[in-house]
A and B are shown apart, each in its own frame.
Chain A
Amino acid sequence: MFSGNGRISVRQLYRSYAVAGISLSALLPPLIMNQKSAGSILLALALWGCFLAGTAFTPRPEAWPVKALCYIHYWILGTMLVRLSGLLVQRFLLTDTALWIITGWFYLFCYYNVYKGLECRMRVSEVLFPFFLFLLLLLSVLMYGEVRPGKLLELQVFLDRDGVYGGYRLFCWLGAVQGLWHLRGQIAGKTGYGNAVFKIWLTGALFTLAWSLFTYCIYGNAGHTRLVFPLASAMTLAHFPGNVIGRLDALFVFAWVIGLFLLCSGLFAPLMDGEPDKKHKYLLVFLLAASFGWGCSPSCIEWGQWFLYYVTTPLQILLLVLYGFGKSGRKGKKAAVSCLCLLLPFFLTGCGAQELEQRSLVMAVSVDAGEEDIYLFTFGFGAASGGEKEDEKEEPFQAEAGSLSEAKELYWESCQKNMDFNHLKCFYFSEKLLEEHSFSGLLKEIQADEVYSRGTLVYAAQRDASEEAKKEDHPREGMPIHQILNAWYNREPCRIPVVTGAGTYKGEISWPY
Chain B
Amino acid sequence: MGEVSRVLEENKKWAEDTFEKCDDILKRQVYVGDGKREGLLVYVEVAVSNLMLEEHVIGLSDVQPLSTYEEARAALLAGNAILFLQGDDTVYKISSKGYPGLGVSKAESEKVMRGSKEGFTESEKLNVALIRKRIRDPRMKVVEQTIGSRSHTMTALVYMEDLIYPDLLDTIKERMDAYEIDGILDSGMLEQLTEKHWLSPFPQFQSTERPDRAASAVLEGRVVLVTDHSPTALIFPSDYNSFFQTSDDWYNRFEIATFARMLRFFAAILAMSFPAIYVAVTTWHTSLLPTNLVLSMAAARQGVPFPSLGEVLLMEISFELIREAGIRLPGPIGNTIGIVGGLIIGQSAVTANLVSPIVVIVVAFTALCSFAIPNEEFASAFRLLKYGCIFMGAWLGLYGVLLSYLWVLIHLSHLNSFGIPYLMPYVASDLNDYEDERDSLIRFPFHMMGQRPIFARRDARVKLRKKG
Contact = CB atoms under 8 A, between A and B. Distances in A.
B409 interface: yes
Contacts of A116: 410, 413-414
Interface residues of B, number: 54
B222 to A, nearest CB: 13
B298 A357 contact: yes
Contacts of B259: none
Contacts of A94: 284, 396-397, 399
B286 to A, nearest CB: 6
Contact of A124 (B284, B304, B409): B409
Contacts of B418: 1-2
B165 A1 contact: yes
B105 interface: no
Contact of A261 (B295, B391, B406): B406
Interface in B288-327: 288, 291-292, 294-302, 304, 307-308
B421 interface: yes
A247 B290 CA distance: 9
Interface in A45-67: none
B430 interface: yes
Contact of B427 (A123, A249, A346): A123
B402 interface: yes
Interface string A97-129: 100001001000100110011011111101110
Interface in A386-436: 386-390, 392, 420, 422-423
A355 B406 contact: no
B396 to A, nearest CB: 6
A3 B458 contact: yes
B256 interface: no
Contacts of A422: 286-287
A5 interface: yes
Nearest to B167: A1
A102 B413 CA distance: 24
B196 interface: no
A45 to B, nearest CB: 29
B287 A423 contact: yes
A506 interface: no
B426 A127 contact: yes
Interface string B386-411: 00000100111111101100110110
A388 B303 CA distance: 10
Given A97-B396, A116-B413, A359-B286, A254 B402 contact: yes
A101 B302 CA distance: 32
B285 interface: yes
A349 B395 contact: yes
B399 A123 contact: no
Contacts of A383: 295
B295 A382 contact: yes
B213 to A, nearest CB: 23
B301 A247 contact: no
A250 interface: yes
Nearest to A349: B395
B419 A356 contact: no
Contacts of A97: 396
Contacts of A448: none
A251 interface: yes
A355 B431 contact: no
A363 B295 CA distance: 11
Interface in A250-270: 250-251, 254, 257-258, 261
Given A2-B165, A355-B308, A109 B406 contact: yes
A350 B394 contact: yes
B413 to A, nearest CB: 4
A385 B299 contact: yes
A11 B431 CA distance: 11
A361 B288 contact: no
A144 B442 CA distance: 30
B68 to A, nearest CB: 36
B420 interface: yes
A315 interface: no
Interface size grouping (class) on chain A: 35 or more
Contact of A109 (B283, B288, B394, B407): B407
A124 B411 CA distance: 9
A109 B287 contact: no
Interface string B34-72: 000000000000000000000000000000000000000
B307 A361 contact: no
A383 B420 CA distance: 56
Contacts of A258: 402
A350 B403 CA distance: 15
B299 A392 contact: yes
A354 interface: yes
Nearest to A346: B395
B282 interface: yes
A113 B308 CA distance: 31
B160 to A, nearest CB: 16
Contacts of A384: 295-296, 298-299, 302
Nearest to B308: A355
Given A1-B419, A5-B419, A251-B288, A353 B397 contact: yes
Nearest to A101: B396
B454 to A, nearest CB: 8
Contact of A382 (B291, B394, B403, B407): B291
Contacts of A322: none
Interface string A333-360: 0000000000000100110111111010
A249 to B, nearest CB: 8
* Most chain B CB inside 10 Å of its own CB: which residue of A9, A248, A355, A420: A355
Contact of B295 (A89, A112, A386): A386
A250 B295 contact: no
23 contacts: A1-B165, A1-B171, A10-B430, A89-B399, A105-B396, A109-B403, A109-B406, A112-B407, A116-B413, A116-B414, A122-B427, A123-B427, A126-B426, A127-B423, A127-B427, A247-B288, A353-B307, A355-B307, A356-B301, A384-B302, A386-B300, A390-B299, A423-B287
Interface of A: 1-5, 9-12, 89, 93-94, 97, 102, 105, 109, 112-113, 116-117, 119-124, 126-128, 247-251, 254, 257-258, 261, 346, 349-350, 352-357, 359, 361, 363, 382-390, 392, 420, 422-423, 451, 454
Sorted from nearest, which 7 A-B pairs have the closest CB atoms? A387-B299, A386-B296, A422-B287, A384-B299, A1-B167, A123-B413, A123-B427
Interface of B: 165, 167-168, 171, 282-288, 291-292, 294-302, 304, 307-308, 391, 394-400, 402-403, 406-407, 409-410, 413-414, 416, 418-421, 423, 426-428, 430-431, 454, 458
